[in-house]
Structure 1
């Protein structure tokens, strides 16, 4: 189930806001420029479907989104408990960073947390299957797929080089781990 918890960035123990309704989550996040929405595909491809099948299932959404954002490519990221190199990759995602382009993800299966640090607040967004999140360029954030991840996402890129992070050097991600 999708959810949002918002904290003051000096108080990781007590949420200021807790939401579980996707419409209310979208409204709260839109106030900081983050896009959040639910997609209902006519057919959800199996977890192990080929990349082309996953992309085709969501083609109408992707075409519209890529047209709106000017994105040039989309791919499928599949991460599970047996994914080699996950521990190392997780470490780089868990450090607060920004990007020079929007970070756009759609969750086909599984879940993960995008944690955003904006205007003295920390927004922990639990994204689940059917959720789209678009974190605008320049917003400090981190991502946690968990110690034993199990998710399939669509990734949309404008930059042909893909995912490139600029790390902030802050330790805030250590103080605000994703909540279970």
Structure 2
């Protein structure tokens, strides 16, 4: 089917709910691409031997990968970690996630600083550009298993907003000017 994204409401209800505006305001893949967000739909059942994933990894230089299972039974300090992932932040490198099982949301900011929610499920591979403000949460199923990809060694450091003085943030903002 492909990915689904929409503008979020401002409700402070449970972060795992849909948070769609009423009426819904969908966001297209083209609109996400203008923000630097890239997306592929792959066959997660064959991720270990998938030639398409291998080509993406070679093309983008994603040399490192690992798997994280986010569930109360598999992730120590589950609720605290979920709160931490949901803090608005940026990274100095691209964030690449490939959903192998379950479901999750990535929220990203658009050019007007509005939240866009991206619903991800099995087979969805997404890259968020370095410098974009974003956050992550599970949906109400409370489970996802994701492949994390990196160029070189993994860097887990998140910089919570405000981080507008970072060169990578300024580079990201400049990249939006042409789109």
Q: Same fold (TM over 0.5)?
A: yes
User: Which residue is 2:73 aligned to?
Assistant: 82
Using the size of structure 2 for normalisation, the TM-score is 0.72
Flag the 1:15–1:71 CA change in 2: closer, same or farther, 3 A. farther
Unmatched tracts of structure 2, length 5 or more: 11-18, 164-179
> How far 1:6 sits from its partner (Å)?
1.9
For 1:4 and 1:15, locate their aligned partners in 2 and report how far apart those are by CA, in whole Å: 14
User: Which residue is 2:157 aligned to?
Assistant: 164
Unmatched tracts of structure 1, length 5 or more: 20-24, 46-54, 171-180
User: Which residue is 1:174 aligned to?
Assistant: none
> How far 1:16 sits from its partner (Å)?
6.2
User: Which residue is 1:114 aligned to?
Assistant: 106
Moved >3 Å (runs of 4+): 12-16
Per-residue CA deviation, residues 65-106 of structure 1 (Å, 9 max, x unaligned), is: 222222220111112231321112112111000011110001
Using the size of structure 1 for normalisation, the TM-score is 0.72
Per-residue CA deviation, residues 116-167 of structure 1 (Å, 9 max, x unaligned), is: 0121121100101111110000000000014762111110012514322111
User: Which residue is 2:167 aligned to?
Assistant: none
User: Which residue is 1:69 aligned to?
Assistant: 60
User: Which residue is 2:173 aligned to?
Assistant: none
